[in-house]
Structure 1
Amino acid sequence: MVVTPDNTNDTTDRLASATSTDAPDRTTARKALLALGVGGFAIGTGEFVIMGLLPDAARDLGISIPEAGHLISAYALGVVIGAPLLAVLGARWPRRNLLLALMTVFAIGNFASAVVPDYGSMLIARLLTGFPHGTFFGVAALVAANLVPRHARAQAVGLVMLGLTTATLIGVPIAAAIGQWLGWRSAFALVGAIGVLTVVLVWRWVPFVAGDRLASPLRELSALARKQVWLTLGIGAIGFGGMFAVFSYIKPTMLEVAHVSVDSIPFVLALFGVGMVGGNLIGSRLADKALMPTIGGLLAWSALVLGLFVYTAPHAWLASANVLLIGTIVAIGPALQIRLMDVAGEAQTLAAALNHSAFNMANALGAWLGGVTISAGYGWTSTGWVGLVLAIGGLLVYAVSLSSSRRIVAARA
C-alpha cells in the first residue's frame, strides 16, 4: 500500500480494519458474506438488466433507444445523490439495521418500476430505486472488511461484489429472458423479490453491532476535505465510465453491427458476466498484494480492451470475446473500495458509499457520452472510442494521485 498522509494516522488504521480477534467465527463470517452477496446480486441484476432490454423499453414507452438510455442515467443519478445523503444520515445506525432499511427501499423501488405507467414516472422510479444502492454496497463493504483479518480485506469486499458480478452472469440473462417472454417490466418484479430475500438473509445472518455513537454528519463530511479521497473517486468516476459507454448499448451494437440474432443476446450478456466474475476474483486478490499498482494496471487494461472493441464489433465471435474482456474491467471495484477505506480517516461510512456514487457517475457519464456519439451519427462502435478516452482520463487522475502520494512520502523521508 502506498503511504499517504491520509493513511498514516492510528485512527484510520483502527477504523479501516478489524483484527482477527474482533472477527466472528468463520461460519458466521461466511453466512454473513453470503447474505451481503445476495444483496449485491439483487442490486447488480436491477442495475444492469435494463441494458439488455433497452429496445423493448423504448418501444413500449414510445421513445428512442438513446432516450431509453436515460433510464440508466436516472438510476445512476439516484446512486450519486442517495449514497452520500443516506450514508451521512445513517452513520450512527447499527450497520445491520441500516442494511435492512436500504434493501427494503430498493425492493419497493423495483416493484414500483414494474407497474408505473409512463416514461416520466419510470424515470422517477429508477431515480429513487438508485438511492440505496451506493450506501448498501458501502456499508456492506465495511461489514465484510470487519469480518476478516486486515490482509484479506479486498477479498472479503470482492466476495460482496461477487454477488454483483454473478448477477451479470446469471441474474441479468435470466431477468432479460423473462423480460422478453413476459414483458420487460417483469424483470423488475423479479429483482424486487430478490431484494425481499436479501432482507430475510441479512436479518438472520449478519451479526448485530451497535452503532457508532460518536458518528455525526460533520465527521462523515470530513472525508470531503481529503485530497486523496477526491482523487480516488475521480479515478472511478472517469476511468470506469468506458465500460458503461460500451455495455449500455451492447444489444443494439451486437444486433446492428455484429449481426447476431436476438436469441444470442443472453449468451453475450452471460459472457460479460463471466468476465466480471473472473475479473472481480482476480482483481481483489491482486489488490490485497499490491493495491496501487493493481489500480494503475487495470486502468491500462481498460483502455486496451475498450479501444479494441471498435475493431472487433463487426465480427460476431471476436465481438463476443471482447465483451468478455470488457467485463473484467470491474476488477477495479474492490481495489478502489479499499483505497477509500485507507484514505478516509474517520469518515468510513461516507467514503465507502461514495465509491459507488463514483461508479454510477461513471455509469451515467458513459451511457450519456455513448448516446451522444451514436445520436451524432458516429455509429454504434463509437462507444469504444468513448471508452478508450475515459480510461485514459482515469489513468491521468491515477497518475496525479500517485505523484501526490510520492511527493509527501519523499518530503517526510
Structure 2
Amino acid sequence: MKKSLIALAFGTLALGIAEFVMMGILPDIASDLHVSIAEAGHLISAYALGVCVGAPMLILARKHPLKRILLVLVAVIMAGNVCAALAPNFWTLMAARFVSGLPHGAYFGVGSIAAEKLADKGKDSEAVSIMIAGMTIANLLGVPLGTALSSMLSWRVTFLLVGCWGMIVLYYIWRWIPPVENLPDTGFRGQFRFLRSPAPWLLIFATMLGNGGVFCWYSYVSPMLVHVSGFSPDRLTLLMILAGFGMVVGNLTGGRLSDRFTPGRVAAVSQGSIFVILLLLFFTAHTAWLGALLMCLCTAGLFAVSSPQQILLIRYSKGGEMLGAGSVQVAFNLGNAIGAYCGGLPLDAGLGYQYPALVGAPFALAGFVLLTVFHRKYERSR
C-alpha cells in the first residue's frame, strides 16, 4: 500500500472522529456548558453547515497545487478542533464546529483527486477507498476512544486529540505525498459547466437520498438496539464497534469491486441491498442477533457506495473536478440531516424504534433507482 494513500487516510481519520464523535459526547458538553441536549445537537448542524459551505469554496483554490491545498485544509482542521477544545462558552464552540466542518468536504474532494492521480493503473477506485478508509476506522476505533476520553477526562480532551492528530497528518502529507500534477484551470464559469449534464445530478441526488435512507435508521440505532432488539445499554459500545467494522469492510470491498466491474454497477447493487436490509430491519430487529447482523450489513452497504460515488463524480465533472468531488460530501451531509429529521417523525408520533428503518427504505429505493438509471445510461453505453 502506498504511503501517500496512507497519509490521505490519516486526514479522513481526523475528519471522521471530528464529525461522528459528537453523537457520543453531546451529554457531556450539554452538562458542562449548561445547555439542553437539544441545544447541544445544534453543534452537529454547525459542522454539517461548515461542510456545505467549505466544499464549494474549492473553486477559489483551483489554481493552487493539490498538495498545498491539502496542507492548508489540514491546518484548518487543526485550528478548528483546538479552538473547540478551548471554547469558553457554547457560542464559541458553535463557531469552532462550523470552522471544523469547512475543510471536510474540500479535503475529501482534493484527496480523492490526488488519490486517483497517485493510484496504480486500473486501481483508481481502490485508491479512493483507501483514502476513505480513515473515516471508517474513525467509526471503528476513534469514536469509541473519543467518547471514552470525554467520559473519563473531558470532552475538551477529545477535540484536543483531533487537533494533535492533525499535526501528524500535516507532517505525513508533507513527507509522503509527492508533488501532484495540477488540474487545468477552466476559469470560474468552467468549474460549473459539468452541471449542465444529467450525470452528476443523478449521482448527487442518489448520494443524498441513499444516505438519507440509512440515516433515517442509523440516527436512532442505539435506542432500536436497546428497546427493540433487547440489548443492554452496556453492550452499545461493542455494537458500535461492530457497525464500524462493517464500514471498514464495505468501503474496501466496494473500492476493489469497482475496479473489477464498474463503479456505477457496484454502487447500484450496494444501494439496492441497503433497501432490502432496511425492510428486514423493520420486520426482524426484535431478534437480537438479526438486529446486530443487519446493522453491520447496512453500515457496510453505506460505505460500499462511497468510493464508487466519489470516483464517478470526479470522472463526470470534467473541468470542475474539485467542485464535483466535494459535492459528494455536501450531498452526504444533506442526506444525514434529512434522514435524521424524517426518521424522527414516526418516533414523534409514538411509534416504535424500528419504524425509522421503514421510513428510510423509500429513500434507499430512490437512490437505487437513480444509480441504476446512471449505470444504464452512462456506463453500459460506453
What TM-score does the superposition give when structure 2 sets the normalisation length?
A: 0.91
Flag the 1:212–1:403 CA change in 2: closer, same or farther, 3 A: closer
Q: 2:162 aligned to 168, 191, 194, which one? A: 191
| C-alpha distance in structure 1 between counterparts of 2:16 and 2:187, whole Å | 30
Flag the 1:401–1:69 CA change in 2: closer, same or farther, 3 A: farther
Following superposition, the deviation at residue 404 of structure 1 comes to 4.5
The answer to whether 1:102 aligns with 2:73 is yes
The answer to whether 1:130 aligns with 2:105 is no
Following superposition, the deviation at residue 213 of structure 1 comes to 6.2
| C-alpha distance in structure 2 between counterparts of 1:235 and 1:188, whole Å | 32
Flag the 1:309–1:71 CA change in 2: closer, same or farther, 3 A: farther
2:317 corresponds in structure 1 to 344
Q: 1:302 aligned to 274, 286, 300, which one? A: 274
The answer to whether 1:79 aligns with 2:79 is no
Flag the 1:138–1:395 CA change in 2: closer, same or farther, 3 A: same
| C-alpha distance in structure 1 between counterparts of 2:232 and 2:89, whole Å | 29
The answer to whether 1:285 aligns with 2:256 is yes
Q: 1:374 aligned to 331, 338, 347, which one? A: 347
Contact 2:114–2:180 (Cα < 8 Å) also in 1: no
1:3 corresponds in structure 2 to none
**Equivalences for 1:43-62 in 2 at 5 Å?**
43-60=15-32
AA partner of residue 324 (structure 1): C
Could you say what secondary structure the match of 1:114 adopts?
helix
Could you say what secondary structure the match of 2:123 adopts?
helix
Q: 1:143 aligned to 107, 114, 131, which one? A: 114
1:22 corresponds in structure 2 to none
Flag the 1:254–1:395 CA change in 2: closer, same or farther, 3 A: same
AA partner of residue 337 (structure 2): A
Determine which structure has greater relative contact order: mean sequence separation of CA pairs < 8 Å that are 6+ residues apart, divided by chain length: 1
Deviations 1:153-203 (A, max 9, x none): 000001101111111111111112212222334322222221221111111
**Equivalences for 1:3-22 in 2 at 5 Å?**
none
| C-alpha distance in structure 2 between counterparts of 1:374 and 1:64, whole Å | 20
Q: Which has the larger displacement, 192-201 or 153-162?
A: 192-201
Could you say what secondary structure the match of 2:118 adopts?
coil
The answer to whether 1:171 aligns with 2:142 is yes
2:198 corresponds in structure 1 to 227
CA RMSD, Structure 1 to Structure 2 (Å): 2.5
Flag the 1:220–1:248 CA change in 2: closer, same or farther, 3 A: same
Percent of residue pairs identical = 36
AA partner of residue 310 (structure 1): F
| C-alpha distance in structure 2 between counterparts of 1:251 and 1:116, whole Å | 29
1:20 corresponds in structure 2 to none
Contact 1:244–1:367 (Cα < 8 Å) also in 2: yes
**Equivalences for 1:208-223 in 2 at 5 Å?**
208-209=179-180, 211-212=182-183, 214-223=185-194
The answer to whether 1:158 aligns with 2:129 is yes
| Count of aligned pairs between the two proteins | 380
Flag the 1:335–1:58 CA change in 2: closer, same or farther, 3 A: same
The answer to whether 1:394 aligns with 2:367 is yes
Flag the 1:65–1:45 CA change in 2: closer, same or farther, 3 A: same
| C-alpha distance in structure 2 between counterparts of 1:101 and 1:402, whole Å | 36
Could you say what secondary structure the match of 2:46 adopts?
helix
What TM-score does the superposition give when structure 1 sets the normalisation length?
A: 0.84
Flag the 1:406–1:134 CA change in 2: closer, same or farther, 3 A: closer
Could you say what secondary structure the match of 1:240 adopts?
helix
Which stretches in structure 1 are left out of the alignment for 5+ residues? 1-28
2:303 corresponds in structure 1 to 330
Deviations 1:370-402 (A, max 9, x none): 234433433433321232122012123224434
Q: 1:361 aligned to 334, 338, 342, which one? A: 334
